[in-house]
């Protein structure tokens, strides 16, 4: 193809290069596109025009530290991210065991949980489960310190697709067969 010799063609070359570059292009990079037959001031003007051309489009031309790049407008990022979802985070063992204790032994205090697990319960663990709206405080036990009593919520049942706690697998189904009775 002959060298672009008018504004329209020059802008087309610029646009095609910026859309396919995969990284920001510096002014020096972009000058290479025109094999030296382009002034920096002209290039800046073309970039401004290109920015205007894309003002109402799905991408926008932005300037970042290392140069210019096209990027998807913010409102599309959420959808595009669905193509490459992050790995699903997992709850720690402490969180899962605390949740299991509350589900099967509710209502329980932190002291109960600590006694069953044999280790102190990190307050952060309770906070995670409360923020998820899976457990809440349903009362206090009338002992010194009046510790809170925790129970699972309706929301917890919904999220695990259960109608009631009695749909949890009963523990005696496998208590004998799978848990060794070693005492």
Partner 1 sequence: MLLTTSEIKIKGELLSELPQDLYIPPDALEVYLEAFEGPLDLLLYLIRKHNLDILDIPMAELTAQYMVYVEKMKVIKLELAADYLLMSAMLIEIKSRMLLPKPAEIAEEDDPRAELVRRLMEYEAIKLAAQRLDEMPKVGEEIAVAAAYYQHISEIKPPEVSLDELVEAWRNVLKRAKLNSHHKIGKAELSVREHMSQILRRLKADGMVEFSQLFDMASEGLAKLVVNFLAILELAKEGLIRITQQQAFSPIYLQANASE
The Cα–Cα gap between 80 and 84 comes to 8
The Cα–Cα gap between 141 and 110 comes to 11
The Cα–Cα gap between 55 and 93 comes to 50
Residue 40 pairs in a beta bridge with none
Q: Where do contacts with a second copy occur on this chain (CB under 8 A)? A: 1, 4, 12-13, 15-17, 19-22, 25, 29, 32-35, 58-59, 70-73, 75-76, 78-80, 82-83
**75 belongs to the binding site for partner 1 (CB under 8 A):** no
**Least Cβ distance, residue 40 to a second copy (angstroms):** 17
- Residue 119 contact partner, candidates a second copy, partner 1, none, CB within 5 to 8 A by sort of partner: partner 1
**162 belongs to the binding site for partner 1 (CB under 8 A):** yes
DSSP 3-state assignment of 148?
Answer: strand
**Least Cβ distance, residue 41 to a second copy (angstroms):** 20
**Least Cβ distance, residue 86 to a second copy (angstroms):** 13
Residue 25 pairs in a beta bridge with 68
């Amino acid at each position: 193809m002959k060298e672009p010799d008018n504004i329209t063609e020059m802008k087309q070359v610029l646009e095609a290069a910026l859309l396919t570059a995969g990284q920001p292009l510096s002014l020096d990079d972009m000058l290479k596109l025109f094999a030296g037959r382009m002034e920096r001031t002209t290039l800046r003007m073309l970039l401004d025009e290109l920015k205007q051309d894309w003002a109402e489009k799905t991408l926008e031309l932005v300037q970042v530290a290392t140069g210019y790049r096209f990027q998807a407008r913010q409102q599309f990022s959420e959808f595009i991210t669905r193509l490459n979802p992050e790995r699903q985070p997992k709850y720690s063992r402490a969180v899962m065991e605390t949740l299991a204790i509350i589900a099967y032994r509710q209502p329980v205090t932190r002291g109960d949980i600590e006694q069953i697990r044999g280790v102190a319960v990190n307050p952060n663990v309770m906070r995670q489960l409360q923020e998820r709206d899976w457990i809440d405080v349903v009362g206090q036990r009338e002992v010194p310190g009046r510790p809170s009593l925790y129970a699972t919520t309706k929301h917890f049942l919904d999220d695990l697709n259960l109608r009631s706690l009695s749909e949890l697998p009963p523990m005696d189904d496998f208590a004998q067969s799978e848990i060794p009775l070693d005492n």
